[in-house]
Structure 1
Amino acid sequence: MPSVTDGTPLTATSPDTKTGDGWVRVDLGAGNEQAIGKLRFYPRAGSAARMNGALIQGSNDGTSFVTLYSISGVSDI
């Protein structure tokens, strides 16, 4: 499966989970912190409704996470 960081276009990369236990973590490293200005998600074609209930979360320490956005209202078109 492609990785979020392997150079594969992001629209061709997705975790393949059937439970709420799937996640992708990006650690920019100490001194490389960034403010989030925009967030996008691209549901997998034919499985878009599975995005409902997903959480986009952020953390400054990798231990305590804050929900930035809860995904809902997604349907397959």
Structure 2
Amino acid sequence: MKVILTKHAEEKLKRKDIKKFKITKRKLRKFLENPRSRSKTKYGNFAVVDQIDQEHDVRIIYDIIEVGIKVITFHIARKQRYK
């Protein structure tokens, strides 16, 4: 599965507050392959939620394209914020 990040998602990986969670493109791919839950957003995109650590979850918003998956953005939140 090929994972492509939008410019927004690429820039978000470089932010200080995100770096402390050690999120990488490889980890995003792992979360996409085996998430805790999957859903559809109100805008028609797809979302997965998985656990980063004991206190935090990551929610990845993505779309399915011809060559694989395009990650639009991701959010880090306190555990159980996104069920």
More strand by share: 2
What TM-score do the two structures reach when normalised by structure 2? Answer: 0.29
Structure showing the higher helix proportion among its residues: 2
Q: Which has the larger radius of gyration?
A: 1
